[in-house]
Amino acid sequence: MSSHPQIELRQVNRWFGDTHAVNDVSFEVYAGEVFGYIGPNGAGKTTSMRILATLDEATSGDALVDGFSVVEDPDRVRRRLGFMPDYFGTYDNVDVHEYLDFFARAYGLRGTERSRALAFVEDFTGLDKLSTKPINGLSKGMKQRLCLGRTMIHDPSVMVLDEPAAGLDPRARIELREMIGRLADLGKAVLISSHILTELAEVCDRVGIIEQGQLVAVGSVDDISRKAEATAMVEVRFVGDVPRAHQWLHDRRDLHEVRIDERKATLTHAGDEAAQAQLLREMIQAGLKVVEFRCRTKSLEDIFLEVTEGRVQ
């Protein structure tokens, strides 16, 4: 595969009137990589994905797909890109097979090439048994599959999926994750958005966290978890002289975010497991009556909440 990124956003900005929906966003996604695009409602995920899919125009900046600008060469971009929007575009009186067939034709697939693509996609998404079902009668999950099928019908090298997991049951989510993993194995660059970091943690090679139009953190999931492992959340329960225990906790310099209610305290502690063991020993040596001491590494969810501040624009 070529060494240039399959997806590249270069300082993309998008204003809607006074709303700065996408604020100077830049990132790259390479072939075979799954990039998770994560942010709360109204963060600008859909907007930047639509810009990438040639459906919206950046106020400034440019986005490139396989080296082609979405502004200057949308035709070339479209040949390489599969975009799955967060809604399902439906037609009356069309069944699953006809729907896929239409998009296969729309992408210029002919004859056996088309039938092969249709067979592959129907098999890949598990829609082969539903091929004569009218699309308006499909369940939400089936529609998502159909959307995904439509997105990959022309074997694009880049796939942009806007909240593909929304509305899926847990089993379907797992299946979807598998499908996305397989897509990456096929060498495609996948950009996938979600509100939920944990949902993507397993499939994503890297994630970008976006809030209020700005990318606030980018990195591999490993990087982020390592950072997360470096600090632990500790829950401690005491009996006996609780106020003294509280005082002791407050006086320690290496403990942060100490929250106390009644006999229970939660705090964050920088350091590995040995350091945690040391902390426990010191508590006991100080005469605190510890009945419970629990360490938990930070979940991606905690990090997400930490990085984003929950502001809605």
Partner 1 sequence: MSDAVAIDNPTVADEGQSSAWRQRLAVLDKWLEAAGDRLNPILVKETRQAIKSKQFAITFVLLLMLCWIVTIGGLTLLGPGVYYSAAGGELLKAYMFLLLFPLAVVVPFSAFRSLSSEREENTYDLLRVSTLSPHQIVRGKLGSAAVQMGVYLSAVAPCIAFTYLLRGVDVVTIAVMLLYATLGSLGLAMTSLFMAALAQGKHGQVLLSVGVVTMLLGSFAGSAGLAIAYLDEGRYEVSREELRIFSAGALTFYLTTFALLYLAAVALISYRSENRSTSLRWAMIVQQAAFIGWMAWAWLRFNYEPEGLIVALIIGAIYWYAMGTMLTSESPELSNRVRRRLPQSSMGRLVRGLLNPGPGTGYLFAVACFTGLCLMACAALVYVQYVPLSQRRNYQYPEIIGGMILLWCYLVTYLGVGKLIIAGINRLVPVNAIAGFLLHVIFLMAGAGIPLVIQLSLRSMRNAGYTALQLSNPFWTLGELLEGGGFSDKEIILQSIVLGAVAVCILMVNMPGTAREFMQGRVALPQRVAQDEAELHPVEIKPQNPWEEEAEAAADPDGTEA
Ligand X SMILES: Nc1ncnc2c1ncn2[C@@H]1O[C@H](COP(=O)(O)OP(=O)(O)OP(=O)(O)O)[C@@H](O)[C@H]1O
Interface positions with ligand X (CB under 6 A): 16, 19, 21, 39, 41-47, 195, 313
The correct pick among 22, 25, 44, 78 for binding partner 1 (CB under 8 A) is: 78
Q: Which does 41 bind (CB under 5 to 8 A by kind): ligand X, partner 1, Mg ion, none?
A: ligand X
Decide: is 126 part of the binding site for partner 1 (CB under 8 A).
no
Least distance (Å) between residue 6 CB and ligand X: 22
Residue linked to tokens 């990087």: 223
Least distance (Å) between residue 39 CB and partner 1: 21
Query: Which residue lies nearer to Mg ion by CB, 88 or 107?
Result: 88
Least distance (Å) between residue 13 CB and ligand X: 12
Decide: is 71 part of the binding site for partner 1 (CB under 8 A).
yes
The correct pick among 3, 18, 41, 110 for binding partner 1 (CB under 8 A) is: 110
Decide: is 194 part of the binding site for Mg ion (CB under 5 A).
no
Tell me the CA end-to-end span of the chain in Å, nearest whole number. Answer: 40
Least distance (Å) between residue 194 CB and ligand X: 9
Least distance (Å) between residue 3 CB and partner 1: 13
How many residues are listed for the chain in this entry? 313
Q: Which does 107 bind (CB under 5 to 8 A by kind): Mg ion, partner 1, ligand X, none?
A: partner 1
Spatial distance between the Cα atoms of 230 and 272, rounded to a whole number of angstroms:
6
Spatial distance between the Cα atoms of 283 and 249, rounded to a whole number of angstroms:
9
Which residues, 6+ apart, have CB-to-CB distance to 245 below 8 Å?
A: 238, 265, 288, 289
Decide: is 75 part of the binding site for partner 1 (CB under 8 A).
yes
Query: Which residue lies nearer to ligand X by CB, 214 or 266?
Result: 214
* Separation in Å, CA 12 to CA 61, 81, 140, 240, 294: 4, 18, 32, 58, 44
Residue linked to tokens 């880049």: 158
Per CB under 8 A, the segment of 90-98, 234-242, 278-286, 289-297 that binds partner 1 is 90-98
Spatial distance between the Cα atoms of 212 and 20, rounded to a whole number of angstroms:
8
The correct pick among 46, 54, 125, 308 for binding Mg ion (CB under 5 A) is: 46
Classified as helix, coil or strand, 54 is coil
Spatial distance between the Cα atoms of 98 and 115, rounded to a whole number of angstroms:
12
The correct pick among 24, 42, 61, 107 for binding partner 1 (CB under 8 A) is: 107
Decide: is 105 part of the binding site for partner 1 (CB under 8 A).
yes
User: Which two structure tokens, joined as six digits, stand for 224?
Assistant: 């982020």
Least distance (Å) between residue 47 CB and ligand X: 3
Spatial distance between the Cα atoms of 67 and 64, rounded to a whole number of angstroms:
5
Q: Which DSSP state fits 299?
A: P
Assess contact for 230 and 270: CB atoms under 8 A.
yes
Q: Which does 137 bind (CB under 5 to 8 A by kind): Mg ion, ligand X, partner 1, none?
A: none
Decide: is 308 part of the binding site for Mg ion (CB under 5 A).
no
Residue linked to tokens 């990456």: 184
Least distance (Å) between residue 170 CB and ligand X: 20
Supply the DSSP string of 206-242, one letter for each residue. Answer: EEEEEETTEEEEEEEHHHHHHHHHHEEEEEEEEES-H
Spatial distance between the Cα atoms of 282 and 288, rounded to a whole number of angstroms:
9
Least distance (Å) between residue 105 CB and partner 1: 3
Residues that bind partner 1 (CB under 8 A): 53-55, 57, 67-69, 71-76, 78-79, 81, 83, 85, 87-94, 98, 102-103, 105-108, 110-111, 114, 150, 154
